[in-house]
């Protein structure tokens, strides 16, 4: 049934029972979220009428606990309004996730969602991301984790480097592999060992991506939009970070492994497609880093230069993994494929001694004005990030003669 105004909807529902109104409210909510052809304006008029009818009904009811519980029911969310705004891990709450996606899609927020959204806005200081409107919002924790997880599952160095969530411009000590214990002669004094550490200070560099969607996608369900946004951010913002992990020069962007380490004869092996290149690289890796070391290269290098290498007894250098738990192994160490690495370049090291930092997660902002004449909604995703080599001696490089 269509209603031209809230009063008509109110008059229709005011004589119904609370259970009947709850049932219809749930149907309307489902229709808004799942039916792309739904008339959202008409349905919002109906839901507001139901809400007022329920409030009118509740005012007449007094007494027992069941009636009190009904008075707390919100027909828009299908939940009790007595639910308070979360006070801890707000960005990970269901209320904030719903508020974030409704804001991005231009849908109306409930009171609890609105207050939850505003709380995160205040705590995260959206102005730090140089936003231009009040639609800017921090990506929900669940979605951010899914974006990172998706990128890690696709392989590349992001899957093996160390992740931080530290404030920018703060020096943090990083421990290096400890020296072995010493044999002790009974009665002799044992000197205390000074644990060797290195310090790292992450800067704050902005990485940004703008993408557009048709205004018709306002009717998209929250789950569908979250799936789209996850794929988009993984393919753009996280991709930029992955590229910087390899090639970043530290000039208004993170410091990559190839540019962030001073390569010389002590940590570089000439790669001419011989089995011994890899044993020489293992020999150059400093003590303490070999146990967790992995090999990193691109697909072309693995399958054109490494795959067919054998030792003097005909045993292959590369051992494929038929269980698909990894790409395979070289000399007992896992292989990671990352196509940001140039041909004929292989990295060996403990990549836990390279780290990237996402101190504020990601911010997403919607604009309905910038592409008004095209009927599009523009979305701008921004992340403040940095990445650095933590301990240069944890890495060795094999490099071909023709590598640029």
Residue 243 pLDDT grade (very low, low, confident, very high; cuts 50, 70, 90): very high
pLDDT of residue 48: 82
pLDDT of residue 197: 64
Q: Is 179 helix (H, G, I), strand (E, B) or coil?
A: coil
**Across residues 168-195, what is the average pLDDT?**
64
- What are 25-52's pLDDT values in tens digits? 888 877 776 776 777 778 878 888 888 8
CA distances from 319 to 54, 228, 272, 291, 324 (A): 68, 37, 20, 18, 12
**Spatial distance between the Cα atoms of 106 and 100, rounded to a whole number of angstroms:** 10
Q: Specify which residues 389 forms β-bridges with.
A: 354
Residue 189 pLDDT grade (very low, low, confident, very high; cuts 50, 70, 90): low
Q: Specify the range with the lowest mean pLDDT, choosing from 3-7, 146-150, 231-235, 382-386.
A: 3-7
pLDDT of residue 386: 92
CATH class, domain 132-178+196-404, is alpha beta
CA distances from 203 to 172, 206, 235, 356 (A): 12, 10, 23, 10
**Across residues 326-342, what is the average pLDDT?**
93
pLDDT of residue 284: 95
Give me the percent of the chain exceeding a pLDDT of 70.
Answer: 83
Q: Which of 28-32, 39-43, 376-380, 399-403 is predicted most confidently?
A: 376-380
Going from N- to C-terminal start, the domains of the chain cover 1-83, 86-124, 132-178+196-404
Between 249 and 74, the more confident residue is 249
Residue 71, pLDDT > 50, answer: no
């Amino acid at each position: 049934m269509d209603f031209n105004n809230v009063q008509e909807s109110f008059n229709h529902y005011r004589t119904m029972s609370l259970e009947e109104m709850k049932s219809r409210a749930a149907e309307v909510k489902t229709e808004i979220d799942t039916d792309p052809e739904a008339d959202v304006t008409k349905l919002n008029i109906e839901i507001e009428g139901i809400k007022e009818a329920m409030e009118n009904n509740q005012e007449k009811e007094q007494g027992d606990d069941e009636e009190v519980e009904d008075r707390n029911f919100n027909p828009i969310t299908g939940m009790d309004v007595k639910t308070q705004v979360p006070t801890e891990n707000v960005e990970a709450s269901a209320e904030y996730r719903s508020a974030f996606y409704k804001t991005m899609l231009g849908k109306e927020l409930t009171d609890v969602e609105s207050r939850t959204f505003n709380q995160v806005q205040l705590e995260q200081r959206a102005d730090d991301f140089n936003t231009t409107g009040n639609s800017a919002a921090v990506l929900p924790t669940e979605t951010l984790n899914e974006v990172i997880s998706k990128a890690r599952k696709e392989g590349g160095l992001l899957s093996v480097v160390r992740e931080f969530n530290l404030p920018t411009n703060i020096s943090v000590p990083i421990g290096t592999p400890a020296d072995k214990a010493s044999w002790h002669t009974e009665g002799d004094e044992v000197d205390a060992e000074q644990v060797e550490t290195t310090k790292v200070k992450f800067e704050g560099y902005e990485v940004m991506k703008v993408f557009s969607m048709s205004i018709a996608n306002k009717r998209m369900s929250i789950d569908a939009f979250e799936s789209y946004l996850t794929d988009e951010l993984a393919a753009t913002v996280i991709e930029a970070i992955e590229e910087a992990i390899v090639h970043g020069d530290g000039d208004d962007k993170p410091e990559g492994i190839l540019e962030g380490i001073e390569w010389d004869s002590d940590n570089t092996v000439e790669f001419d497609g011989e089995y011994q290149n890899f044993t020489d690289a293992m020999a150059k890796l400093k003590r303490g880093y070999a146990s967790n070391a992995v090999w990193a290269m691109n697909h072309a290098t693995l399958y054109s230069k490494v795959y067919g290498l054998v030792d003097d007894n005909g045993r292959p250098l590369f051992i494929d993994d038929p269980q698909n738990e990894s790409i395979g192994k070289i000399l007992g160490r896992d292989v990671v494929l990352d196509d940001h690495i140039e041909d004929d370049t292989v990295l060996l090291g403990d990549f836990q001694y390279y780290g990237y930092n996402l101190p504020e997660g990601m911010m997403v902002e919607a604009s309905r004005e910038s592409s008004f004449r095209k009927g599009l909604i523009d979305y701008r995703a921004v992340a403040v990030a940095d990445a650095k080599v933590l301990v240069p001696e944890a890495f060795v490089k094999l490099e071909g003669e023709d590598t640029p």
